Chain A
C-alpha cells in the first residue's frame, strides 16, 4: 500500500538557518504530494502541494519539488523564522477526493 516516510524529529534550528525536511513516498500510481503544517493549538493547514512530477509547490517561503525518479518531496526554506515553529507532515493522495496518507510528522523548533 501507499506510505510516506519523513525525517524524524525533533529538529531545532537557529533563526535564519536553512531548513530541509526529507520526505520519500511509496505509491502504486501517480500521487499528488502535500506538506501540511500544524501550529501549536491549531488544526492542520495545507502548506503547499504538487500534483505531478517536476512540479514545485511553494508558499510562505517554503518550497518542495516533486521528484518522481527519487520518489521524494523534500521541504526547504532558505531562512527560517521563530514563527515557523510547528509540526510538519508530508502526505500523498492517489487522486482528487482520495484519502491522504501521512508521514509521522517532524516537530520543528526555531530559536532566536
Chain B
C-alpha cells in the first residue's frame, strides 16, 4: 500500500514570497490533515478535511495560509506572503479510522 506522498521535500524562499505544498493521501482515506512542526516542537494542526469539506481550521492563519482539497483526494497548502516564522516542516497525514499516517513532510526555510 502506497503511503502519504508529499512534495516538494525541501523549499527555500525569501520572505514575502509565496509557496505551495502538495499532498496525496492514502487511497480511501477520507480524512486529511495538515500539521506544522516548528523545530523542537510537536506538530500542530493547521487544518483538517473530511472528504473535501473543512472540519477544523481554527489554528490556520487565514490572512496568509490557505488550503484546499479538490474532489476529496489531493490537497494543497499555500502560504502567501511567507514570513520568517513560517520556517517549519509541513506534514500531511490521512486517516480512515483511529490511526493517522504521515508523509515525510516538506521542510520550508524562509530567509
Binding site for B on A (CB under 8 A): 4, 32, 36, 42-46, 49, 51, 89, 91, 93, 96-97, 99-105
Q: Are B99 and A102 in contact (CB under 8 A)?
A: no
| Chain B residues engaging chain A, CB cutoff 8 angstroms | 4, 30-31, 33, 35, 40-45, 48, 50, 56, 91, 93, 95, 97-105
| CB <8 Å contact, A43 and B102 | yes
Q: Are B91 and A99 in contact (CB under 8 A)?
A: no
Asked if A97 and B43 make an inter-chain contact with CB atoms under 8 angstroms apart, the answer reads no
A32 in contact with B98 (CB, 8 Å): yes
Known pairs A32-B98, A49-B98; A42 contacts B104 (CB<8 A): yes
Q: B98 contacts A43, CB within 8 Å?
A: no
A51 to B99, CA, bound (A): 11
How many inter-chain contacts with C-beta < 8 Å in the A-B complex?
55
B91 touches A44 (CB 8 A): yes
Sample of 19 more A-B contacts, CB < 8 Å, known A99-B48, A105-B40: A36-B102, A43-B91, A43-B104, A44-B91, A44-B102, A51-B98, A89-B43, A93-B98, A96-B98, A97-B50, A99-B56, A100-B33, A100-B43, A100-B45, A100-B100, A101-B45, A102-B42, A104-B42, A105-B41
A103/B42 contact (C-beta < 8 A), A42-B104, A44-B91 known: yes
User: Which 7 pairs from chain A and chain B are nearest by CB?
Assistant: A102-B42, A44-B102, A43-B104, A97-B31, A99-B45, A43-B102, A104-B42
On chain A, the residues within 8 Å of B45 by CB distance are: 99-101
Contact A43-B42, Cβ < 8 Å, known A96-B97, A97-B31, A97-B97:
no
B103 to chain A, nearest CB (A): 6
In whole angstroms, what is the CA distance A36 to B98 when docked? 13
Contact across chains for B99 and A46 when beta carbons are under 8 A apart: yes
C-alpha spacing A46/B98, complex, angstroms: 11
CB distance from B81 to the nearest CB of A (A): 27
Q: List 8 A-B contacts (CB under 8 A).
A: A32-B98, A43-B4, A43-B91, A49-B99, A97-B50, A100-B33, A101-B45, A104-B41
